[in-house]
Structure 1
Amino acid sequence: MRYTPIIMAIALAGCNTTAPPLEPVPGSLTYGRVVRSPYPPGTVINNTFLGKWGYRTFEKYVVQPDGTLKLTSQQTAPDFLVF
């Protein structure tokens, strides 16, 4: 029981609280280029496109103070046709 604080400290020391930055994929607004937005900083821009193998990709960008777009969210889901 006396080793519990030491074990907890060692376990938490290996934790990484930051996730790697999201990478744009083909079809993304910023894939292979820098995009400047006329909107004010902090504006959220949504983008939806058909990605690899017909999967729908949903992205969210935030306009930075210099006008560039930063990819903040990226989700992929199947695209179903409804008749």
Structure 2
Amino acid sequence: MKYALIGVLFALSACASAGDPQPLPGSLTYGGKVLHSPYRPGTVVKNTFLGDFGYRVFETYVVQPDGTLKLTSQSTGPDFLWQ
């Protein structure tokens, strides 16, 4: 039980220290670009593009009160489906 609690605390601290996702080449805000969205604040905007090594990058942005986009989530996956 003691080791399980230590493992959970370690995992949570790793998540907390990860910080915000960083834009990659192909991201809407890569290189310091500032995009203003015509959508209402709080609207979720999704972006996907082909990243390194053939992986698809999935990003989620949230429109801020000033109209800019904030990158909130980023994940990768294969760019093909097994049939």
Which TM class, normalised by the smaller chain length? 0.7 to 0.9
Number of equivalences: 72
Runs of 4+ aligned residues of structure 1 deviating over 3 Å after TM superposition are 15-19
Instruction: Report the equivalent of 1:26.
Output: 25
Shift of 1:82: 6.3
Query: What one-letter code is carried by the residue in structure 2 that aligns with 1:26?
Result: P
CA distance in structure 1 between the aligned counterparts of 2:17 and 2:53, rounded to whole angstroms: 30
Structure 1 SS opposite 2:53: helix
- Where do 5+ consecutive residues of structure 1 fail to align? 1-10
| Deviation sequence 1:3-56 (CA, Å, 0-9, x none) | xxxxxxxx8xxx574541110000001101111101000000000110111100
- Structure 1: distance between partners of 2:53 and 2:81: 14
TM-score, normalised to structure 2's length? 0.74
Aligned sequence identity (%): 66
Q: Does 1:56 align with 2:60?
A: no
Q: Distance in 2 between matches of 1:44 and 1:53?
A: 27
Structure with the higher fraction of residues in helix conformation: 2
Gaps of 5+ in 2: 1-8
Structure label with greater radius of gyration: 1
Partners of 1:34 and 1:53 lie apart in 2 by 27
Aligned partner of 1:28: which letter?
S
Query: TM-score by structure 1 length?
Result: 0.74
